[in-house]
Amino acid sequence: MHVLMLVPDCQMIDRRVLQQARTLVGAGVRVTLLAGFECAKAEEYDWEGVRIVRTQFDWDDTRLRRIRARLPDNDTLKMVVNRIWMKFIIRGLSIKPYDTFVLAQAERFPADVVHVHDLPLLKHGAILARRWSVPLVFDAHEIYYEQETLPPRVRRRLAREEARHVPATSLFMTVNGAIADHYKTLYGKRPLVLMNCADPPPIGFDATSRADLRAMAGVPADAQVILYQGWISAERNLTTLVRAAEFLPANTYLLMIGYGVHEADLRAIVEGRPWADKVKFLGRVEPDRILALTAGADVGVIPYQPIDLNHTLCSPNKFFEYVQSGVPIVAHDLVFFREMGERYGVVVVGDLSTPEGMAKAINKLAADKETLARMRAACAKAAEELNWDVEARKLLKGYGEMLGRPMKF
């Protein structure tokens, strides 16, 4: 059996995507992962048995190319045709140049199942599944059109596409119970919940974590470390987190692992401040190193705010990475974190909407050695359940029910 996975990730491929692909390969499935269509360069390579294909869209249109090929050899005429096409004709087309490119790339890999990650490619997956008469799998990593950073017109279009194509899915999945309940209200069927759990790390993975993280950051060996790791973007309340560093006690540092254009803004906030040395930007860390480095922190922070429904109901990768690494968590009082705190005792929630409130919550936990020790033990216990091995079995059970035959982990 061949599964074609589609994901829009043009930079780093989401851990959840790679875990699902690897799990299917382990169950005897051939997987091609078409990951990103606006990548920095086109490339193909193998990763743990998964064929990964990255492509580069040149913003031309194959239909327009065919028209130009029939025109006389006149650059001015071709330029006029280009402008007319892009400015007027394309507005009335349901399949845009980007869509034709995505479909053309996917058509290179006929499959027995089309497995779509995230809403922007659901339309394309539905078209392919109909053409090939195969099942359609949709994994909603989030409520995509509920992101307030998207233009209203884009949000409306994506909501329409979701409503149109979700009923045609053979297997529908999402990341947590609250989002699953949201979708059940919308569509009358509850998606399979497949959480963003991390892989269980090998025994002894954290033997040198504390020393390694502090050496990487250039802070004292006995420093207390507050860690944020993940994508660095404006909507994640990182400005507040960085400003909270002003109120951290002596020999306590805020370390930022990750990358994104918002990093430049955060550096500008810190520059020249008396407390600038308390904030360290460590850049991107490869996925195979993230758990070991994370384990060196004393406290992990998730500062997300309820700026939209997507953030209000989120359950980000970093939560599970903190848990697997044994790092107690401070988070804003959102639905998922409140539930995890009550169920597992691995996170304390508070009001992280201001620098002062953020620092107060962080400092209270960081100063309480007894609570920190109890939460580290709680992380170890929760990690027995909140790990990818558990979720992988759910994925294969869902696939088995869809295909009418069992799949073994």
pLDDT in tens, 115-155: 999 999 999 999 999 999 999 999 999 999 999 999 999 99
Domain-located, residue 186? yes
Note whether 394 and 373 are same-domain residues: no
pLDDT at 72 over 90: no
pLDDT digits (tens, 9 = 90+) for 187-200: 999 999 999 999 99
Using CA atoms, how far apart are residues 376 and 305, in angstroms rounded to an integer?
A: 25
Asked if residue 395 is part of any domain, the answer here is yes
CATH number for position 322: 3.40.50.2000
Mean pLDDT over the full length of the chain: 93
Q: pLDDT tens-digit profile of 273-305?
A: 999 999 999 999 988 899 999 999 999 999 999
What per-residue confidence (pLDDT) applies to 223?
97
Q: Which domain holds residue 242?
A: 209-383
Q: 339 and 296, same structural domain? A: yes
Q: What is the mean pLDDT of residues 157-168?
A: 96
The reply to whether 217 and 357 lie within a common domain is: yes
* Token output for 210: 């504390």
Task: Note whether 123 and 242 are same-domain residues.
Answer: no
25 lies in some domain? yes
DSSP 367: T
User: What pLDDT, on a 0 to 100 scale, did the predictor assign at position 287?
Assistant: 85
Q: Is the pLDDT of residue 87 over 70?
A: no
Torsions phi, psi for 335 (to 5 deg): -55, -55
Task: Supply angle C-alpha 316, 336, 322, rounded to 5.
Answer: 45
In a domain, 338, yes or no: yes
277, 271 Cβ separation under 8 angstroms: no
pLDDT value at residue 311: 96
pLDDT for 376 equals 97
**Distance between CA atoms of 3 and 6, rounded to whole angstroms?**
10
Q: What is the pLDDT of residue 84?
A: 64
Residue at 203 is within a domain: no
- The fraction of the chain above a pLDDT of 70, given in percent, is 93
Instruction: Read off the pLDDT of residues 322-343 as tens digits, 9 standing for 90 and up.
Output: 999 999 999 999 999 999 999 9
Identify whether the C-beta of residue 290 lies closer than 8 Å to the C-beta of residue 266: no
In a shared domain, residues 178 and 241 = no
Are both 55 and 7 inside the same structural domain?
yes
Q: Do 115 and 31 fall into the same domain?
A: yes
Residue environment code for 164-195, b if the CB has 16+ CB neighbours within 10 A, otherwise e: ebbeebbbbbbbbbbbbebbeeeeeeebbbbb
pTM above 0.95, yes or no: no
In sequence order, what DSSP letters do the residues of 292-350 get, joined into one string? HHHTT-SEEEE----SSHHHHT---HHHHHHHHHT--EEEES-HHHHHHHHHHS-EEEE
Count the domains in the chain.
2
54 in any annotated domain: yes
Question: Domain for residue 408, yes or no?
Answer: no
Confirm whether 98 is domain-assigned: yes
Q: Kindly state whether residues 180 and 319 are assigned to the same domain.
A: no
Look at residue 393 and tell me whether its pLDDT is greater than 90. Answer: yes
Do 130 and 264 share a domain, yes or no?
Answer: no
